[in-house]
Amino acid sequence: MLSRTGAPPPTGHACVHARSSGGCSECKVRLLSVCAALTCEELDELEALSQRLHLAPRQALFRQGDPADAVYNVTEGMVRLSRLLPDGRRHVMGFAMVGDFLGLALPERYNVTVEALSPTALCRFERRPFANLVAGKPHLLRKLHERAGYELTLAQDHMTLLGRRTAEEKVASFLLTMRDRYALVGQGSVTVALPMGRQDIADHLGLTIETVSRLLTRLDREKALLIVPGGVRLTNLDRLENLAAA
């Protein structure tokens, strides 16, 4: 469902775009996404398909069961992907951030609900025209296939995390994974922003909110991290990495 690349900037001349400002060539996350595979002329084609969207916190982009009529690229903020299980419980599948694509490999209807966790901006592309564009660009299709393989690896890692780790190991691994994801988009810091709530983290890791709160408090008390407004500051990486690698 998600797609993001850490590809290096393409070489060559800077794009000269038909639009005066705000176009794909000026997008600050272009080189972080599959769009990095496109030439300047191909970016013009992509931009002709795009529509800019803005979401307020807790606003839904689409809901589970809605017709899958578009794909989206996150350019600002973060969204939560969740699925309602048959027994009524909610599972948080993951969190999409800057550079991530949503809806690339979905069936005719979305199988998750996507909601903004913070003020979020996205580019929207109608699914059929986007698929036609990709079909004519083998280099872009190759990038999408690479990302599909990467996402499969992430899904397998998450299954291992849910089934074979202790609660403390899950929380440490989650925090380090978020740190690494921020670093990938140029937002690396010892302070990890957590716009999602503790219930979201619990539903993502297969824990209770009480367990997540207790473990964060314990790690804070042990000086492995410091709980700060809006996130945590990782103060003892050795301790957290040892837990995550257990």
Answer for the pair 122, 55: CB distance below 8 angstroms, yes or no.
yes
Write the CA distances from 148 to 8, 13, 117, 141, 143, integer angstroms.
19, 30, 24, 10, 9
Do β-strands 231-234 and 78-84 pair in parallel, antiparallel, or remain unpaired? unpaired
One DSSP character per residue, 90-128 reads EEEEEEEETT-EESTT--SB-SSEEEESSSEEEEEEEHH
For residues 130 and 184, state if they share a domain: no
For residue 237, give its domain range: 166-244
User: Residue 86 sits in a domain of what CATH number?
Assistant: 2.60.120.10
pLDDT tens, position by position, 113-139: 999 999 999 999 998 888 888 787 777
Does 17 map to a domain? Answer: no
Does 185 map to a domain? Answer: yes
Q: How many domains does the chain have?
A: 2
Answer for the pair 111, 137: CB distance below 8 angstroms, yes or no.
no
pTM, 2 dp: 0.81
For residues 192 and 140, state if they share a domain: no
For residues 28 and 103, state if they share a domain: yes
Tokens of residue 133, six digits: 């564009």
User: Residue 202 sits in a domain of what CATH number?
Assistant: 1.10.10.10
Does 219 map to a domain? Answer: yes
DSSP 8-state code for residue 67:
B
Of 119, 139, 157, which marks where a domain is finished? Answer: 157
Write the CA distances from 144 to 74, 92, 140, 148, integer angstroms.
16, 24, 6, 6
For residues 216 and 233, state if they share a domain: yes
- List per-residue pLDDT tens for the chain, 246 residues long: 444 433 333 333 333 333 434 566 566 665 556 666 666 777 777 778 889 999 999 999 999 999 999 999 898 999 999 999 898 889 999 999 888 888 876 678 899 999 999 999 999 999 888 888 878 777 776 766 666 666 667 666 666 667 678 999 999 999 999 999 899 888 878 899 999 999 999 999 999 999 999 999 999 999 999 999 999 999 999 999 999 887
Helices (H) and strands (E) in the chain, counts: 7, 11
Contacts of 34 by beta carbon, 8 Å cutoff, 6+ apart: 3, 4, 5, 101, 140, 143, 144, 147
